Amino acid sequence: MNPFSEQYKSLNNIALLRILERSAEYQPLAVEAAQLELTFRKLSNEELDAEKVGLELEKEREQIARQREISSRIKRITSPLWNYFRTVQIFLNRFINPSLLAQWMIAIGAFISLVAYGFIVGIPMYFIGVIIYWTTIEHVIDKIAWTVLPIILFVVLVKMIYVV
């Protein structure tokens, strides 16, 4: 007699189907007992399909729970860093208009990298300005313009100067 037979009589159909689906995780006698119990219950094809749908829903719920757990771990890890940046942002907003600062950084960064060949200073300044500007409450068209126009200006002027 199979030692799992009595224990598996109390399991619902979804639990038995889960055992069959994950048969590699169970002992061969346990898988056999689950198959025998499902056969003994004489489920119709419709009932079996309904139970399989229930099993799929349960797997989706488990996956969502795992994703939420990962998300909460990421939030827990990054929370101190995010709080620090939020505090710095609140401090800067009291004294500096971030939109204006970002525009100046974009303009000066583009100018330095174009005119003074200060790529080491100009390009990072431009990118930092773009990042700051995209975090402000400006209109999306303004954000796109302040991001793209300096690049277009740079390319046009370089072509005019170096490509004859």
Q: What is the pTM of this model?
A: 0.39
Domain-by-domain residue ranges, the chain? Answer: 5-42, 96-162
C-alpha 138/C-alpha 146 separation (Å) is: 11
C-alpha 79/C-alpha 126 separation (Å) is: 27
Per-residue pLDDT 10s for the chain (164 aa) are 677 777 778 787 778 888 888 878 888 888 888 888 878 877 777 877 787 888 888 889 989 999 999 988 888 888 888 888 888 878 877 777 778 888 888 888 877 877 766 677 778 888 888 888 888 888 888 888 888 888 888 788 778 877 76
